[in-house]
Amino acid sequence: MDGAAMVTQCGIPPGKSFTYEYEVNQAGTFWLHGHYHHQNADGLRTPLIVHDRKQHLYKYDGEYVFAFEDWYKESFAERLALTIDPKKSFPPESPAPNALINGVDGNATKPISFKPKRTYRIRLINMSAAVWFKFALPGHQMRVIEADGKYSVPLEVDGVTLGPGQRFSVLVSALDSASINYQYLVEVFASFFPRIPGESPKYYTGIVEYNKDASLDIVDTISILEAIPEDKSFSGYTDVELSSADRQPAFPVDRSIDLVLGGAFFKNNIPRDIVNNITYAEPHIPTLYSALSLGSLAVDKDLYGIQSNTIVLKHNESIELVVYNPIRIPHPMHLHGHVFQLIEYGPVDPRMVLSENREGFSNQTAPIVRASEYPMERDTVVIPTMQYVKLRFRADNPGVWLFHCHMDIHFGMGMAMTFVEAPDVLQDTMVIPDSMTQMCVEQGIPTTGNAAGNPGTDLSGLPPMPSIVHF
Ligand SMILES: [Cu+2]
């Protein structure tokens, strides 16, 4: 029921419906979005808040949700066409977006109201296709208590930075008096838009209202937002400062996997994004159906198609991913089906970095930063430029799970890979509902066999692996 098209299901055909049924076993701040091509980037997305049936770990009197989106004049398809047009300069000139907050112009939000001495939970969701957001509430104490559906030990901050796909909850203590109203501040920015005053970054303000008649405390928006740590790498304040509230120590490592993010030019000068030199392309049948129908061959990663970039994991293996980002853009990498522990950040080996990217970074080697005793867990992590991040998780959720950049343009250009986790256990335990398989049948998509839709090891019909012309 994960919903990723051609990974765990066929997409819902136009004009049809499908009912997702799943056990809700994790309270927190989520969002849901179309996972087929550029649906998310064009706005098919909405917050999904799961309340705890029991008392929340942290007490609060009220809550607000801030869902941030990027808003462009062009459709995603138009922006993508510009990006991959070999006749245009690369990277292309692209206008910076405006921000939406809860679906309206970021400067036209309704005031949120605070009562004195109460505590509020503010849930922040970056649903954008490509950009980072900052949030601050001057004059108030703010503590991070949740990241991506996992509680943290409260951490006091001046503000937070969220990459695409990321969520935070902060607890905010209202002031003792209702005599003044305050501003909340939002910034939208990204590393790949040139800094142009008024264009990028853009700043937005809204009102925290204690009392309709009170005066507004006007602050210096730009200086407050620019003081929130973001560092050169756009990683936000370091995730490793957070500690997981469930006090799970770092997992031991059974298997360590290196993943190198990058970009490359393929035939006809087409730019694509890559993980370990492979650019993702959909198989001809959803990978989950291959895992369920290939029997003992399901442990052979090649049968999922070279371009699905599959790694097969054993049941309950403890995995460490070392994700290297030797290029100039930070990547918010999202893992389906799991949260991972954030173990360590550090610099990439300069030899991994293309010479044209080294300039300006050679003297700024990032420090090695290690997690606290109880590493924070989350499902989306920004891999800063010229750095690596070590992540750990236990393969205790049999299934087929994408790991991909949550900047839609990078996902669309192939920065994605597939974990096929415990296919043996899957084959013994999983039954796909007929209503789900029917969606494939209606679209002429096979539901048995390897990535080509053939039985056994015959991959004929799959396009050949495209080769990299230059980096
Ligand atoms: Cu990316």
How many angstroms is it from 404 CA to the middle of ligand 1? Answer: 8
Domain boundary among 207, 237, 267: 237
> Are the beta carbons of 386 and 347 closer than 8 angstroms?
yes
Distance 261 CA to ligand 1 centre (A): 8
For residue 361, pLDDT over 80 is answered with no
Find the radius of gyration of the CA atoms of the chain.
Answer: 23
User: Is 230 found in the same domain as 261?
Assistant: no
Looking at the predicted structure, is the pLDDT value of residue 233 above 50? no
Please report where in the chains the tokens 């991909």 appear, as a residue.
404
Mean pLDDT on 394-421: 96
What confidence score (pLDDT) does residue 363 get? Answer: 47
- How much distance in Å is there from the Cα of 239 to the middle of ligand 1? 18
Q: Kindly give the distance from the C-alpha atom of residue 282 to the centroid of ligand 1, in angstroms, as a whole number.
A: 18
Bridge partners of 389?
323, 345
In this structure, is residue 457 part of a structural domain?
yes
The answer to whether residues 269 and 378 belong to one domain is yes
CA of 400 to the centre of ligand 1 (A): 21
Centre of ligand 1 from the C-alpha of residue 332, in Å: 6
Please state the φ and ψ torsions of residue 387, each to the nearest 5 degrees. Answer: -130, 165
Could you tell me how many residues make up the chain? 471
Confidence of residue 332 (pLDDT cuts 50, 70, 90): very high
Same domain membership, residue 175 and residue 134: yes
Q: Provide mean pLDDT across the span 118-139.
A: 96
CA of 25 to the centre of ligand 1 (A): 29
Question: Looking at residues 432-461, what average pLDDT do you find?
Answer: 97
How much distance in Å is there from the Cα of 72 to the middle of ligand 1? 18
pLDDT, position 236: 47
Q: Helix or strand or coil: residue 99?
A: strand
Q: How far is the CA of 470 from the centre of ligand 1 (A)?
A: 19
Is residue 13, in this structure, part of any structural domain at all?
no
| Domain co-membership, 63 together with 180 | yes
Q: Indicate the SS3 state at residue 357.
A: helix
Q: 123 and 218 in one domain?
A: yes
- Distance (Å) from CA 149 to ligand 1 centroid: 22
Q: Is residue 308 part of a domain?
A: yes
**For 36-85, what is each residue's pLDDT tens digit?**
988 999 999 999 999 988 777 899 999 999 999 999 988 888 887 877 77
Is 243 inside a domain boundary?
Answer: no
Do residues 177 and 269 share a domain?
no
Token representation of residue 310: 């599959």
Decide which of 398 and 89 is more confident: 398
Query: Which pLDDT band, with edges at 50, 70 and 90, does 199 fall under?
Result: confident
pLDDT digits (tens, 9 = 90+) for 258-310: 999 999 999 988 889 999 999 999 999 999 999 999 999 999 999 999 999 99
Contact between 299 and 423 (Cβ < 8 Å): yes
Range(s) of the domain holding residue 175: 56-237
CA distances from 22 to 1, 19, 261, 363 (A): 7, 10, 32, 50
How many A from CA of 405 to the centre of ligand 1? 5
Same domain? For 369 and 429 the reply is yes
- Ligand 1 center to residue 331 CA distance, Å? 4
* Alpha carbon of 210 to ligand 1 centroid (Å): 40
Residue 203 CA, ligand 1 centroid: distance in Å:
23
Query: What is the structure's pLDDT at 241?
Result: 87
Rounded Cα distance between 148 and 393, Å, is: 15
Distance spanning both ends of the chain, measured CA to CA: 37
Ligand 1 center from residue 113 Cα (angstroms): 37
pLDDT, position 234: 46
Q: Are residues 84 and 151 in the same domain?
A: yes
Is the peptide bond prior to 13 cis by the omega test (within 30 degrees of 0)?
no
- On whether residue 21 sits in a domain, the answer given is no
Could you give the CA distance from residue 247 to residue 203 in angstroms, rounded to a whole number? 37
Distance, in Å, from the CA atom of 436 to the CA atom of 21, rounded to the nearest integer, reads 11
Q: Quote the pTM value.
A: 0.95
Query: Does 103 have pLDDT greater than 60?
Result: yes
Q: How far is the CA of 435 from the centre of ligand 1 (A)?
A: 34
What is the distance between the alpha carbons of residues 164 and 95, in angstroms, rounded to a whole number? 18
pLDDT at 471 > cutoff 50: yes
Distance 39 CA to ligand 1 centre (A): 17
List % helix, strand, coil for the chain (3-state, nearest 5). Answer: 15, 35, 50
CATH of the domain at 405: 2.60.40.420
Instruction: For residues 141 and 176, give the distance between their C-alpha atoms in angstroms, rounded to a whole number.
Output: 12
How many domains are there within the chain? 2
User: Ligand 1 centre from 407 Cα, in Å?
Assistant: 5
Same domain, residue pair 123 and 199: yes
- Tell me, in angstroms, the distance from the centre of ligand 1 to residue 411's CA: 7
Residue 387 has pLDDT above 60, yes or no: yes
Q: What are phi and psi of 185, to 5 degrees?
A: -125, 140
Whether 364 shows a pLDDT value over 80: the answer reads no
- Residue 141 CA to ligand 1 centre (angstroms): 33
Cis-peptide, bond into residue 466, ω within 30° of zero: no
CA of residue 61 to ligand 1 center, whole Å: 37
Distance 436 CA to ligand 1 centre (A): 30
Residue 35 resides in a domain: no
In a domain, 30, yes or no: no
Do 209 and 358 belong to one domain? no
What spacing in Å lies between the alpha carbon of 421 and ligand 1's midpoint?
A: 24
pLDDT for the residue numbered 228 = 83
pLDDT digit string, tens, across residues 136-148: 999 999 999 999 9
Distance CA 351, CA 116 (A): 56
**Distance from Cα 273 to the centre of ligand 1, integer Å:** 8
Q: Are residues 189 and 269 in the same domain?
A: no
Structure tokens at 160: 């937070």
Give 80 Cα–ligand 1 centroid separation in angstroms.
Answer: 14
Quick one: pLDDT band at residue 88, thresholds 50, 70, 90? low
- 434 C-alpha vs ligand 1 centroid, how far in Å? 35
Report yes or no: 229 and 160 within 8 Å, Cβ to Cβ.
no
Rounded to an integer, the average pLDDT of 412-434 is 97
Structural domain includes residue 17 = no
Q: Are 190 and 101 members of one domain? A: yes
Output the average pLDDT for the chain: 92
